[in-house]
Structure 1
Amino acid sequence: MPEETLVVAVPKGRVLEQLVPRFERVGFDVGVLTKKSRKLIREDAKRGLRFLLLKPDDVPTYVEYGAADLGVVGRDVLLEREYDLYAPLDLGIGRCRLAVAGLSDVAYPPPPGKTLRVATKFPNVATRHFQAKGQPVEMIFVQGSVELAPLTGLADVIVDIVETGETLRQNGLAVLEDIHEVSSVLVANRVGLKLKRERIAPLLEALREE
């Protein structure tokens, strides 16, 4: 790979759709991102760019280990795991929030001393949140369809990403407490940032001004 090539890890799905107009306005050839193809590596040879299309949770791993110089990732992923990354820019896309949710009639906060059963795919975020409140919890890790947990008695509440709240409402749940606002941020590999500063710095500035 030529030294000057800039490798950018981007998440597949909804966030990429919101990211494309931003990239287009700063001069990226977004056609390589939007064309129908199963290729997971897309090249913009004219501008010396290589895009890696990844699952959102994998983006920071590729950046941290130097397989990509830059990446776009939800702040929720960074909050859950401790990555050694530089996060210079909030892109303001993919906006949502991490929240505690449950049945509308659940006792929340629970009576003093009661252990709260919490189902979530964000156990570290949830644990820190409840520890700060002095609330004893039993954490139950689940990967998907977390809304089922209160409905089946698996857990008292859940901690999950909430965008519009429609999925919660359709399942008879409600937001009980907001934990953290979330949006997508640009992250950089610390070594790559130093080695390719002449390429990365103008891009950061253009995205800030856009």
Structure 2
Amino acid sequence: MLTIAMPKGRIFSEAVELLRKSGYKLPDEFDESRKLILTVPEENIRFILAKPMDVGTYVEHGVADVGIAGKDVMMEEERDVFEVLDLKISKCHLAVAGLPDTKMNDIAPKVATKYPNVASKYFREQGEQVEIIHLNGSIELAPLIGLADRIVDIVSTGRTLKENGLVEFEHIADITSRLIVNPVSYRMKDKPIDMLVERLAKTVEEGKEDSD
């Protein structure tokens, strides 16, 4: 049986749709279930539903053979896994944002984010020395309450930034969801994994052609 780790939320919905388009028969109740482990015996697949940041951990440690994870998570976590396919779903980008018409503090600039490794690397590459403040949620609050000069966060439509009076200053990287594979599983379960990659790649390519 192939075990696939998937994040709950938006990526899950889009990934399920992609799997169905690729010919995998997933039951209708699959979408509504609150279970954390879902088994589809007819496809010989088991799904583990996890928090986005945990998917890479499950795949790296082999409790999941395959995972679907955002590129933002892969950049932050740097897990020992194979990234085999860009699924082209859940498109967004990582950006630096803050209050309009404000400059970074010259003496002790602070950046709040849930991506401390990505943020540290980015500002280092810009030749800027900043203090990183690691937050887990409501990153937009940081500039509003004076905790940080800037934030590094995911931007999808930009609506959340706008509603909180923030603006985007710098674009760091485009983000989509990726198919990742445990290196040992790739050797031991190469046939079902290759089939999954092949079927998904075909669907992704067809989707790209339709959008063109």
Which range, TM-score by smaller chain? over 0.9
Contact 1:116–1:135 (CA<8 Å) still a contact in 2? no
Show the counterpart of 1:172. 165
User: In the alignment, does 2:128 pair up with 1:132?
Assistant: no
What is the aligned-residue identity percentage?
A: 46
Show the counterpart of 1:199. 192
Runs of 4+ in 1 over 3 A off after TM superposition: none
Contact 2:13–2:31 (CA<8 Å) still a contact in 1? no
| SS of match in other structure, 1:89 | strand
Contact 1:115–1:135 (CA<8 Å) still a contact in 2? no
Q: Distance in 2 between matches of 1:209 and 1:38?
A: 30
Show the counterpart of 1:52. 48
Give the number of equivalent residue pairs.
203
TM-score by length of 2: 0.91
| SS of match in other structure, 1:98 | strand
| SS of match in other structure, 2:127 | coil
Structure 2: tracts of 5 or more residues without a match: 204-212
TM-score by length of 1: 0.92
For 2:12, which of 9, 16, 19 is the aligned residue?
A: 16
Per-residue displacement from partner, 1:93-151 (whole Å, max 9, x unpaired)?
111111000011112xx48x644210111111000001011111011111111111111
Contact 1:32–1:42 (CA<8 Å) still a contact in 2? no
Show the counterpart of 1:118. 111
| SS of match in other structure, 1:134 | coil
| SS of match in other structure, 1:9 | strand
Structure 1: tracts of 5 or more residues without a match: none
User: In the alignment, does 2:166 pair up with 1:154?
Assistant: no
Relative to structure 1, the CA distance from residue 192 to residue 122 in structure 2 (aligned partners, 3 Å threshold; closer, same or farther) is same
